[in-house]
Every structure is written in structure tokens, then in C-alpha cells.
Chains A and B, each alone.
Chain A
Amino acid sequence: AQSVTQLGSHVSVSEGALVLLRCNYSSSVPPYLFWYVQYPNQGLQLLLKYTTGATLVKGINGFEAEFKKSETSFHLTKPSAHMSDAAEYFCAASNSGGYQKVTFGTGTKLQVIP
């Protein structure tokens, strides 16, 4: 079965600093990979996704993630944190045939310190 591991349930960065949120997956076949963001009292919003092709994926709000098959990782980065980036981030994976049966990680809460 597919599983997704997010290292660090809470991450704090200073405003303007690099954001790095870690995600590893376990899969016997190449998965589709996603990062979602959840702001308080709002629904999950897709930041970016990897399906096939280029392994460096750019998303909204300046975020990007790189699919590294050899490391089974899909870490999320942003060069410079903004206060508005404070939210909870979920890494997810899907490899069920035909449709997206998505398995989510447990989430990482990002705090941005002014």
C-alpha cells in the first residue's frame, strides 16, 4: 500500500528565509505526487503536482518541488518565505489505476516569523 511520510509536523522559518518541507513516499510503481495547502477554515488547495515529464515542478505562490525517484522524495521549497505562507501543507501520492485514490501525509504546519 502507498504511504506518504512528512518529516516534521511543525516547521518555523523567518520571513525571507528558505522554506523546505520534506516528503517521502513508498511505492512500488512511479506515483503521481501532490502538495496541497490548507489555510485555517478553508479547503485544501492544490499547490503543485507531478505526473510525468519534468521532475522539477513549479506551483503557485512561488513554490516548487522536485521528484527524485532514487530518493523516493518530493520535497517542497520556496526561496523566500512570506507571512502569508503560514498554513498547513500536505504531501500526497496516488498510483491507483484509472483514478486518483490519494494517500495523504500527516501534514506540516509552517510558521513564518516576522
Chain B
Amino acid sequence: GAGVSQTPSNKVTEKGKYVELRCDPISGHTALYWYRQSLGQGPEFLIYFQGTGAADDSGLPNDRFFAVRPEGSVSTLKIQRTERGDSAVYLCASSLSGIGLAGAISTDTQYFGPGTRLTVL
């Protein structure tokens, strides 16, 4: 079946502009995650959705970053007043469920999309 898809694959914008990055998770996956991967670094957690709600947004760097998942499927990461330091690859992942049994960590595999490369000039 189809994997996680992200659009656009590349986005070039100017400093101060607003951008939206889209993630289409695997159908039926209730958990969705956003990560940011800067050059030479591993992915860093941004936000986790369980269904429509953001269960953990502790990784969002500041209030310029916001994400939504209104119908529990597609998610949009929104960045206001972009800065050059926002340039990175933004990765989305989904898993069948984010919730583990009896409070344990979910063991469901996270499936990653190819990412959106954001360049802020």
C-alpha cells in the first residue's frame, strides 16, 4: 500500500514568509509525528498527534511553529515569519497507534515519509 507522503518535496522561501508543509500518513494510522533534520544531524522530535489532538508539542522550537491535524489524517506543519535557521528537512512519520498497552510505550513501527526540504533565503 501507499506509504507516508509529504508535499512539497522542496520548498524555497524568503525570510519572513509563511510556509505550510503537508503530510499524508498511511491510511488507518492514528499516530503522526513531525521531526526536523538539520544538516549533519539526526532527526529531532517536534510534535506528536494521537488522532486529531496534539498529545505532545514540546519539541516545537517556538511559537512561530504550529501544526494541525483536523480530521485525524492529513497534518499540516505551519511556520510563520520564517528565518534562515528554519532551513532543514522536515520529516513526518505515522504509526498504527501511538498508545501502548497499559501505559507502556507503543511498539508500533513509525513509518517515515521522504521529507520536505525547506530552504529559507
Contact = CB atoms under 8 A, between A and B. Distances in A.
A51 B40 contact: no
Interface stretch (B66-74, B80-88, B109-117): B109-117
B95 interface: yes
A43 B112 contact: yes
Contact of B43 (A9, A90, A94, A100): A90
B56 interface: yes
Name A's interface SS: loop
A51 B98 CA distance: 15
Nearest to A41: B114
B105 A43 contact: no
Nearest to B97: A99
A43 B115 CA distance: 7
Contacts of B35: 104
A104 B4 contact: no
Contacts of B31: 99
B103 interface: yes
Contacts of B93: 44
Which 8 pairs, one residue from A and one from B, show the smallest C-beta to C-beta distance? A104-B42, A99-B98, A43-B112, A44-B112, A43-B114, A104-B43, A51-B107, A106-B42
